[in-house]
């Protein structure tokens, strides 16, 4: 072991910062897994705070609120995964057919929303949906329609939130799939052209099958975080309006409000632990299903 270490000392030294980073931010915080099972007291610290068993989890599973936030979290994330993956692949295929001179321009345009903070996006959406001065309500009034109380009527927000999430993540996903398409051997397409295959046939017979492992891997990873929501999306874009919680409240916003109102760190930690366990089980389940269908596309 010592001989191997000395032989690879240079490579080990290069990997040391990354190793320390992973150790500091991924393994040291595992000590905090005690919090979901304790009644945390600031003056006692984590270790000396009294044990409460599963009491912190009882807060999550009592009442109808859990059903609402769990339903919203799962349904929104399933739509984000399906619609986001589909549109990202379509955009990537379209970019793949463009001249290389224009691809970077379109990639940049698509990628810009990914770097916009949800705080900034929240103000932009408010400019659209504000009751008195919003652009959409102004257009409705101009054509003789009644203005809509967007931040008071929950039925519109599933469509708004899905559109906002797709708008922000479309560029990132399409770039990943476009990079995968660029790695496909051009000889496949040359042979398809000789056989008279159309662009659509090439996409279905060559492009999509060749990037299927990438699609599978990304979908599995997204399913692993299906119990987590983009807090900025559901908090800032909706302006945290209590009148539309029926369709906008998710686990992350619910836990945040509970933590702010009650200051219960143990409860918040229990919610995070619950999300992690569910995500871990979903990754294992999804990977098992994929491995049985096609072992080459599974993660492990």
pLDDT digits (tens, 9 = 90+) for 68-95: 888 899 899 999 999 999 999 999 998 8
Written as one string, the DSSP assignment of 112-172 is: GGGGS-HHHHHHHHHHHH-TTT-HHHHHHHHTTPPP--TTT-GGGHHHHHHHHHHHHHHHH
Grade residue 227 by pLDDT with cuts at 50, 70 and 90. confident
| pLDDT at residue 237, rounded to an integer | 92
Provide φ and ψ at 21, rounded to 5°.
Answer: -65, -45
22 vs 16: CA distance, rounded Å: 10
Q: Average of pLDDT values for 254-270?
A: 79
| pLDDT at residue 295, rounded to an integer | 77
Cα–Cα distances in angstroms (integers) from residue 4 to residues 1, 7, 17, 77, 273, in the given order: 5, 5, 20, 46, 39
Kind and range of the H or E element at 219? Answer: helix 212-224
Pick the residue with more confidence: 101 or 93? 93
Domain 37-297: give its CATH code.
1.10.3720.10
Q: Average of pLDDT values for 141-163?
A: 90
Grade residue 63 by pLDDT with cuts at 50, 70 and 90. low
**Residue closest to 281 by CA, chosen among 218, 217, 225:** 225
pLDDT surpassing 70 at residue 151: yes
34 vs 254: CA distance, rounded Å: 22
248 vs 76: CA distance, rounded Å: 9
pLDDT surpassing 90 at residue 286: no
pLDDT surpassing 80 at residue 195: yes
Q: Average of pLDDT values for 161-171?
A: 91
Cβ neighbours of residue 38 under 8 Å, at least 6 residues apart? Answer: 46, 49, 50, 51, 52, 266
Are 70 and 271 a contacting pair, CB within 8 Å?
no
* pTM score, whole prediction: 0.82
pLDDT surpassing 70 at residue 1: no
């Amino acid at each position: 072991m010592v001989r191997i270490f000395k032989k690879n000392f240079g490579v080990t030294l290069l990997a040391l910062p990354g190793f320390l980073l992973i150790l500091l931010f991924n393994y040291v915080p595992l000590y905090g897994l005690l919090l979901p099972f304790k009644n945390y007291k600031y003056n006692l610290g984590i270790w000396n705070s009294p044990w409460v068993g599963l009491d912190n989890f009882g807060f999550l599973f009592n009442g109808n609120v859990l059903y609402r936030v769990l339903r919203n979290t799962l349904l929104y994330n399933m739509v984000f995964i399906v619609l986001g993956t589909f549109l990202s692949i379509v955009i990537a295929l379209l970019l793949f057919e463009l001249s290389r001179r224009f691809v970077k321009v379109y990639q940049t345009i698509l990628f810009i929303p990914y770097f916009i903070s949800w705080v900034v996006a929240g103000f932009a959406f408010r400019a659209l949906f504000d009751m008195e001065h919003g652009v959409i309500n102004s257009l409705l009034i101009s054509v003789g329609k009644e203005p809509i109380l967007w931040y008071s009527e929950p039925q519109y927000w599933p469509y708004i939130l899905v559109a906002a999430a797709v708008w922000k993540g479309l560029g990132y996903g399409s770039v990943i799939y476009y990079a995968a398409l660029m790695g496909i051997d051009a000889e496949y397409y040359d042979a398809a052209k000789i056989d008279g295959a159309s662009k659509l046939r090439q996409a279905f017979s060559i492009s999509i099958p060749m990037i299927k492992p990438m699609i599978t891997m990304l979908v599995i990873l997204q399913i692993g975080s299906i119990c987590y929501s983009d807090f900025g999306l559901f908090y800032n874009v909706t302006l945290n309006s209590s009148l539309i919680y029926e369709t906008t409240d998710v686990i992350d916003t619910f836990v945040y409000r509970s933590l702010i109102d009650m200051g219960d760190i143990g409860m918040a930690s229990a919610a995070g632990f619950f999300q992690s366990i569910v995500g871990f089980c979903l990754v294992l389940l999804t990977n098992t299903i994929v491995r049985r269908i096609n072992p080459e596309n599974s993660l492990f």
